[in-house]
Structure 1
Amino acid sequence: MSDSLGSGGKVCPQCRRTLPFSEFHSNVRRSDGLAFYCKSCANVRSEQSRRKRGVQERRQSTEPVPPGSKWCPDCDTIKPLAEFAQTKSKASGYHSYCLPCHNARGIETNIRLHGSSREYHLRRRYGIGQAEFDELVAEQGGVCAICGGPDPQHVDHDHRTGWVRGILCFNCNGGLGQFRDSPEFLAGAITYLKGTTWQRTLIHPGVYRISSPMRGRPPSRSS
């Protein structure tokens, strides 16, 4: 045991008081299993270090925080725990800021580091930026690569390789996802539609023949 340990406690080298072992944090890396400074002095030193690094002083609620609630330092409001995002990185199990403030901080960070939330999303999810996105849309003539609808906004990518394939409208992008990017399923859907949908066939300039579907049943009279 260290010489700073007495029969009933340990001497803190900062305040030079002999205090009970319970007044020291645990530290398994030290021979005595206790922190070098007492809890009070450790807190003071920690705050001094934060000030030197430019970290603002920790704020606390001016009102008692009831059980099941938490104080948000950004909006200075006590709210139920349900209004805070959960996290395993905090001892309390919840983020420091309520959901609106937490989201606002995320947006501010994205704008500060990436220029916009859109740029951050494109970079993180697809590995391209807004400039590359605009180039792809321009190469497609400013329309959806499948249906030709104007102003497509959704990035289509290969889920196996992450390779960006084109820019699609909401419906076409969702349709590919529902068919699981399978050419076989899409071909089957085309065959199915041709066999169950009335067809308009050109038989002479300006003359069309309406062909009935090969299968299916007509709607009931009550429908």
Structure 2
Amino acid sequence: MSDLPEASDRVCPQCGRSLPASAFHRNKRRPDGLAFYCKTCAAARSEASRRKHGIAAQRRAPAPVADGLKWCPDCQQTKALEDFPRTRKGSGRHSYCKPCHNIRGRESKERLYGGSREYHLRRRYGIGQQEFDELLAEQGGVCAICGGADPQHVDHDHRTGWVRGILCFNCNGGLGQFRDDQARLAGAITYLRGTTWQRVLIHPGVYQMCSPTRGRPPSPRS
């Protein structure tokens, strides 16, 4: 009888054992569709890498956890599954409960981006606080539409993602409500011209306030 491994077996280069395909994780990027190391060695290598990078060992629940419950490694409390954020991976719930998950998120944003503001700008608009300040300075420190002081909202083209300027809350919200549609904005201007008092030039240097040409007066009982 031959001592050669069966065709379905593979030799793990870490431990040197001949193991069936089921002992290896799947990897679609490799020709045979299997990971390079067996599951046991892969886990050991991953753990060693975590220790090398200063990541503490993963905590385990001190006692078995009943169905419908989950143990949080940070606060070390057993809570209902609803107390853990949802995820599409694994068990469908994150490893840490919502309060601990939020604390970790804030710490990560502070460590990687210097704060939530920088994280928000980078993630949503592709710019940082420095680019924000430079753009605002180019506008003279005021809203690019109404000229209001201290605008804090980034306006961008929803189709291309290109940042267009810094606006105040009202102007930014107004553009959003009008869906960045020039025809809608032009229609709104035309509408206002016919329903609000207008300053009309009747003689060089002389203006008259003209009353609306449409609409109805308010009810006396209002």
Shorter-chain TM band: 0.7 to 0.9
Q: 2:47 aligns with which of 45, 50, 75?
A: 50
Structure 1 residues 147 and 206 mapped into 2: Cα distance closer, same or farther (>3 Å)? Answer: same
Q: Deviations over 1:29-54 (max 9, x none)?
A: 7xxxxxx98x9xx49x8357514640
In structure 2, stretches of 5+ residues that fail to align are 6-14, 16-21, 27-36
Tell whether the 8 Å contact from 1:51 to 1:57 is kept in structure 2 after alignment.
Answer: no
- 1:5-56 deviation per Cα after TM superposition (whole angstroms, max 9, x unaligned): 9xxxxxxxx9xxxxxxxxxx66587xxxxxx98x9xx49x835751464042
The offset of 1:212, in angstroms, is 1.9
8 Å Cα contact 1:137-1:167 kept in structure 2: yes
Contiguous gaps of at least 5 residues in structure 1: 6-13, 15-24, 30-35
1-structure distance, mates of 2:101, 2:77: 13
State the match for 2:99 in structure 1: 100
What corresponds to 2:77 in structure 1?
A: 77
TM-score, with structure 1 as normaliser: 0.73
Correspondence for 2:9: none
Kindly provide the amino acid, as one letter, of the partner of residue 171 in structure 1: N
1:107-129 residue CA offsets vs partner (Å, 9 max, x unmatched):
22222222222222222222211
Q: Distance in 1 between matches of 2:160 and 2:49?
A: 46
TM-score w.r.t. structure 2 length?
Answer: 0.73
Q: Deviations over 1:138-165 (max 9, x none)?
A: 1111111111111111111112222211
User: 3-state SS of the aligned residue for 2:214?
Assistant: coil
Distance in 2 of aligned mates of 1:143 and 1:49: 52
Give the whole-Å Cα distance in 2 for the aligned partners of 1:220 and 1:104.
55
Per the TM alignment, residue 167 of structure 1 is displaced from its structure 2 partner at its CA by 0.3
Count of paired positions: 198
Residue 127 of structure 2 is matched in structure 1 by 128
State how far apart, in whole Å, the 2-side matches of 1:110 and 1:65 are: 31
Alignment partners' CA distance in 2, 1:65 and 1:28: 27
The offset of 1:78, in angstroms, is: 2.2
Superposition RMSD on alpha carbons, in Å? 3.6
| C-alpha distance after superposition, 1:57-105 (max 9, x if no partner) | 2212335534322221112222222221111222x11110112222222
Identity of aligned residues (%): 67
More displaced stretch, 58-67 vs 72-81: 58-67
